[in-house]
A and B are shown apart, each in its own frame.
Chain A
């Protein structure tokens, strides 16, 4: 491999590394968002549960 070939390969690898780094960082961010969605879903379900329980005890309206 000549010096020019090494440098050209290095340039292309640098680009690949930068794009991969960006994708990895973004994948972590998306994982965090996914976790937040799950937490909020659980929170919403917990808030709904007492309301549903209290509603179950009552008879039909009218």
Chain B
């Protein structure tokens, strides 16, 4: 509902941006998607830390699921970003943009998580290795997030500054609605996938017992 409301408001309620015109509306889906991806990767890191700290293997599945759902939001961020770049800059991708390249590195880093995970047999060793890898990825999140402010010659727009959001109140409201909607959707998908994976693992156990 939040997402539908934000899409409807983004198309028919918010005014056109003075600089970018109608195309600025991608902002309402692109930036919340990136923040949701960062949040999911951060959540995966937190679960990985708890696994290393407490040694409870249930955190391994939670961390893995968060990365899996986070990658989907990574794809959304990259796809919407490429479309926005095409309208604004005339190119689908710009290698000189540190923000884009760092997000791509973050995305590829977490994609490689699955290669590492499935190259090791299931068990406590795999859980610990995956947790350490997920924790390394967390370091990249603030670097990727702050890259735009560290860049010297950037063309990527900066909307959130120390003086607050540089946009009209109606635009900020739609942005917040979209962010809340995307975080809620990601949370729901995370919970559903986690429940499915737990059920899958219990069924495998049950099959072993019954065999």
Contact = CB atoms under 8 A, between A and B. Distances in A.
A binds B: yes
Interface of A: 2-5, 7-8, 10-12, 14-15, 18-19, 22, 26, 29-30, 33, 36-37, 40, 43-44, 47
Contacts of B29: 11-12, 15
Interface of B: 7, 21-23, 25-26, 29-30, 33, 72, 75-76, 79-80, 83-84, 86-87, 185, 189, 192-193, 196, 199-200, 203, 206-207, 210
Contact of A12 (B7, B22, B23, B185): B7
Given A10-B83, A26-B193, A33 B199 contact: yes
A51 B136 CA distance: 54
Given A4-B22, A7-B23, A15-B33, A26 B87 contact: no
Given A2-B22, A7-B84, 5 more contacts: A7-B83, A11-B29, A12-B7, A14-B76, A33-B203
B33 to A, nearest CB: 7
Interface of A is mostly: helix
A39 B39 CA distance: 38
Contact of B189 (A2, A4, A5, A22): A22
A21 to B, nearest CB: 9
Contacts of A18: 72, 75-76, 79
A30 B196 CA distance: 7
